[in-house]
A and B are shown apart, each in its own frame.
Chain A
């Protein structure tokens, strides 16, 4: 079965711009969660969606938002980018045996 697909793999943006990242979960999985990984803060939970509804949210500013579509694909958006938003953004789907992660999108803000 196909895994979790994240696009794009790499992205370079300028401060002040906005960015949209995409995640397609494993077929049939309805939960998608997003994480940010930075050298300083490690892996931090952003938010989690299930059946198009946000169920959990981490401690990130309102510039970070997301949504989920009826086919379970999810997008996250970061507006007014700051240098500190440079990170690896990972999405995952869950099952009773654990989470399956995508390969991530590496965002660099210059």
Chain B
């Protein structure tokens, strides 16, 4: 399967703590994207990092990309109960409009 792997599968933390999720992928990529999904609803785009970028920030989100290791991480700082959701990484292969998703991390933030 081309599907990427994410770890951990599940993560439980207290409000205010940081949450880190990791993603590994298998092919050459144009970019890597992170999405959030609440309770089986649609996916919400969080951040996109291009293959020539190493780090990107957006609000409380920080994403890193290491193309030599084919891996990425998503850090959510100062987490809130509203951050409770599943988080997916997705890679877009060169010359395609096709996303390959990771297996996802279920994040639970307790108030």
Which A positions have Cβ atoms within 8 angstroms of B? 4, 31, 33, 35, 37, 42-45, 48, 50, 55-56, 58, 88, 90, 92, 94, 97-104, 106
Contact = CB atoms under 8 A, between A and B. Distances in A.
Interface residues of B, number: 21
B111 to A, nearest CB: 26
Given A31-B97, A42-B101, A56-B97, A104 B41 contact: yes
Given A42-B104, A43-B88, A103 B42 contact: yes
A59 B41 CA distance: 23
Interface of B: 3, 33, 35, 40-45, 48, 88, 90, 96-104
B98 A45 contact: yes
A97 B104 contact: no
A3 to B, nearest CB: 9
A71 to B, nearest CB: 19
Nearest to A47: B98
B98 A33 contact: yes
A33 B101 CA distance: 14
Given A42-B104, A43-B88, A99 B41 contact: no
Contact of A98 (B3, B33, B41): B33
B94 to A, nearest CB: 13
A37 B104 CA distance: 12
Nearest to A88: B40
B97 A55 contact: yes
A99 B45 contact: yes
A32 to B, nearest CB: 10
Contact of A103 (B35, B41, B90): B41
Given A42-B103, A42-B104, A97-B48, A33 B41 contact: no
A99 B99 contact: yes
Given A98-B33, A106-B40, A42 B96 contact: no
Contacts of A31: 97
